[in-house]
């Protein structure tokens, strides 16, 4: 991965010099903040209504009413915003013709890929870090399950990593950023919802479909369960998409 660090610095600067990263982060924090407020308000309302019923009140906890729904909602928001971050990574380079100059530098294709991928993941990490005030506030007000919060954030990070790699691959195939974003979102959404049809495909094929569904593996993290199979799914998904992107770059260099 020779030369990845200069590419990483350049791409990170490009994200934060332009309004792209700030706009995406602001949208993510605004919507996730709304869901946090809504979930906390719902918990307060239910707690007040259950005050007259001690048996029911004992089953109310912030983890089930706030933590799990919040992580699920934040995951859905990531599904929408990650294509907006990945769409320009190679499409803009191809449209402007600067990719030809980039590939003539003493930088390996894997170095270009690693630098761009890590720079994009910096934005994802900053987005998620901006929401850490939510669990801090929850710990100040109640006693949520720290394990479920940690696994939830880990699941979102792994999902973000997978969809970013997918978006990079699509971006490497086209010069149009809008097309890259739309196709990336469509494929990511397909991997998100395909389990809904697993019951129609029979036992064997249905099991395969469920294993290929992002939502199926993400749900374990949301429940506070760490499974090697779930972690392996996201890691292999990311590695496969990065591998395809690397092959695309090598093909472009060969054609050039």
pLDDT digit string, tens, across residues 63-105: 888 899 999 999 999 999 999 999 988 888 777 777 766 667 7
97 alpha carbon, distance to own chain's centre: 29
Q: Residue 108's CB: how many other CB atoms inside 10 A?
A: 16
Does the predicted TM-score (pTM) go above 0.95?
no
pLDDT tens-digit series, residues 200-229: 666 777 777 778 888 888 988 988 888 899
3-state DSSP call for residue 34?
helix
**Using CB atoms within 10 A of its CB, is residue 78 exposed (0-12), middle (13-18) or buried (19+)?**
buried
- Over the stretch 168-207, which tens digit does the pLDDT of each residue have? 999 999 989 999 999 999 999 998 888 776 666 667 777 7
Neighbours of 85 (CB within 10 A): 27
Annotate 207-225 with b (16+ C-beta within 10 A) or e (fewer). Answer: eebbebbbbbbbbbbbebe
């Amino acid at each position: 991965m020779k030369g990845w660090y200069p590419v990483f610095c350049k791409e990170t600067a490009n994200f934060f010099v332009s309004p792209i990263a700030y706009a995406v982060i602001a949208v993510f924090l605004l919507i996730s903040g709304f869901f946090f407020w809504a979930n906390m308000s719902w918990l307060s309302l239910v707690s007040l209504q259950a005050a007259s019923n001690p048996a029911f009140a004992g089953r109310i906890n912030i983890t089930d009413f706030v933590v799990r729904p919040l992580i699920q909602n934040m995951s859905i928001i990531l599904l929408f915003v990650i294509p907006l971050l990945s769409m320009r990574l190679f499409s803009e380079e191809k449209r402007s013709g600067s990719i030809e100059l980039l590939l003539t530098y003493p930088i390996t294709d894997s170095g270009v890929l690693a630098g761009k991928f890590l720079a994009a993941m910096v934005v994802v990490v900053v987005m998620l870090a901006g929401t850490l005030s939510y669990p801090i506030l929850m710990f100040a007000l109640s006693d949520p399950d720290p394990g479920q919060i940690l696994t939830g954030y880990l699941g979102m990070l792994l999902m973000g990593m997978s969809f970013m790699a997918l978006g990079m691959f699509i971006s490497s195939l086209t010069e149009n950023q809008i097309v890259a974003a739309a196709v990336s979102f469509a494929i990511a959404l397909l991997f998100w919802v395909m389990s809904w049809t697993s019951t129609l495909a029979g036992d064997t094929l249905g099991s395969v479909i469920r294993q290929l569904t992002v939502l199926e593996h993400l749900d374990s993290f949301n429940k506070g369960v760490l499974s090697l199979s779930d972690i392996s799914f996201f890691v292999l998904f990311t590695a496969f998409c990065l591998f395809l992107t690397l092959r695309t770059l090598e093909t472009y260099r060969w054609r050039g």
